[in-house]
Amino acid sequence: MECGIIGLQGVGKTTLFTALTAHKVAVQIGSMKPNMGIASIPDPRLTKITEFIVAQKVIPATLQVVDLPGVPSGGSNLNTVLAHIRNVDALCQVVKCYDDCDPAADISSMDSELIVADMVVVEGAIDKASRTAKHGDKDAQKRVDVLSRVNTLLEEEKPAREGAWDVSDKAILKSYGIMTSKPMLYVANVSEDDVNGGSNAAKYVATYAQENAGKSVAVCATLESEISELDKDDQAEMLGSMGIREPAVGPLARALNTLLGLSTFYTAGEKEIRAWPIPKDAPAPQAAGVIHSDIERGFIRAECYHVDDLFSLSSEKAIKEAGKLRSEGKNYTMQDGDVVNFLFNV
Ligand SMILES: Nc1nc2c(ncn2[C@@H]2O[C@H](COP(=O)(O)OP(=O)(O)OP(=O)(O)O)[C@@H](O)[C@H]2O)c(=O)[nH]1
Ligand SMILES: [Mg+2]
């Protein structure tokens, strides 16, 4: 799963990328090449598990992020940028909300670019699929139906994500790289004195996101980038002095995780405590496969309990005694927050 950071030029995309990836990637500023990196997903539940289970290592879940070049309005590089946007699974649109800014105009110009580009793809695709459908091809007819519904939305200047799509519709949208169907997180890039997003600019972004089937967070990218460079102690001190509970990268990464339709399960042993992202409602063997394909192939059963049981009962022994340690088979649907030990045989 990959998330693309998009937006107009110079709005703070690369700065946000350095914050999300904690400066582990050397970035190219203002280049036409995307920066790629891995963001850890800060997880309060993972931290809390370590209060009850002692392990040598703690490994958070991660998310792949791609920092894309700014969208030049009408520039010749537009197609290169759009090609990158078509390939990612979710979008994170940075909107400038500090200094002199006009978030309404910026969002409108960015989203219009995506809508217009989708229209070009959809119109061509409808023509082609219609010709095949004429010969009685059922799949082609289905594609025509879905694409026509997308077209109706786009003509009303609405993103495709506003439509009600089932799993097979979504697969079609993905295969055509329909950008406005991808989940969108609007990031209001606020100034240092507006970290809670109280300014009119930030409020505009929040309302717009709500009205356009998106989500939003307020982040001060420069501040977050500085925070992410500090070691843990200095970080805590800086956050405390500013009255901030956690770096905004936390809520941001978790919002992206939710938008991508992911949930989290944990493994917790002496060697390591680790958070794993999986598609929501994945069956147990699929979750096992995220750890290793052998565990999926040789899946016997999952021994699991919920993190909340650990937090209330304090130890795995107590969980067992309370009868809360479950043994689940291959048809079990994973629940967000399960702590699991997979038994397998290969
Ligand atoms: N005051 C202030 N300046 C910021 C903030 N975020 C970014 N900047 C500044 O804006 C400039 C552009 O930041 P970048 O992160 O490179 O912007 P970008 O969107 O990646 O730019 P392109 O890739 O060229 O489109 C830099 O000088 C940053 O220091 C912010 O939150 N506050
Ligand atoms: Mg950049």
Q: Which ligand is nearest to the CA of 30?
A: 1
Pair type for strands 262-268 and 35-40: unpaired
Q: What is the mean pLDDT of residues 220-239?
A: 91
For residue 184, give the nearest of 249, 73, 260 by alpha carbon.
260
- pLDDT tier for residue 48 given thresholds of 50, 70 and 90: very high
Question: pLDDT, tens digit, for every residue of 152-174?
Answer: 999 999 999 999 999 999 999 99
Q: Which ligand is nearest to the CA of 248?
A: 1
Shortest-distance Cα residue to atom 9 of ligand 1: 12
CA of 227 from ligand 2 middle (Å) equals 19
Judged by DSSP in three states, 292 sits in: coil
* Superfamily holding 281-344: Beta-grasp domain (3.10.20.30)
Using an 8 Å Cβ cutoff, are 230 and 238 in contact? yes
Judged by DSSP in three states, 215 sits in: strand
3-class SS letters over 45-84: HHHHHCCCCCCCEEECCEEEEEECCCECCCCCCHHHHHHH
Mutation pick for ligand 1 pocket among 9, 13, 15 (CB with most ligand atoms within 8 Å): 15
CA of 20 from ligand 1 middle (Å) equals 14
Can you tell me the distance from the alpha carbon of 253 to that of 277, in angstroms, rounded to the nearest whole number?
12
Q: Where in the chain is the domain with CATH 3.40.50.300?
A: 1-98+183-262
Q: Give φ, ψ of 66 to 5 degrees.
A: -125, 125
Q: Indicate if the alpha-carbon torsion angle 46, 47, 49, 50 is positive or negative.
A: positive
Question: pLDDT, tens digit, for every residue of 85-128?
Answer: 999 999 999 999 999 999 999 999 999 999 999 999 999 999 99
Residue written as token pair 């977050």: 224
Q: Which ligand is nearest to the CA of 28?
A: 2
Question: pLDDT, tens digit, for every residue of 233-255?
Answer: 898 898 888 777 888 888 888 88
- pLDDT tier for residue 74 given thresholds of 50, 70 and 90: low
**pLDDT of amino acid 73:** 56
Can you tell me the distance from the alpha carbon of 40 to that of 21, in angstroms, rounded to the nearest whole number?
7
Q: Where in the chain is the domain with CATH 3.10.20.30?
A: 281-344
Q: Which residues line ligand 1 (CB under 6 A)?
A: 7, 9-15, 29-30, 69-70, 98-99, 189, 191, 220-222
Class of domain 1-98+183-262: alpha beta
Element (H, E) at 291: helix 284-291
**pLDDT of amino acid 30:** 67
CA of 339 from ligand 2 middle (Å) equals 39
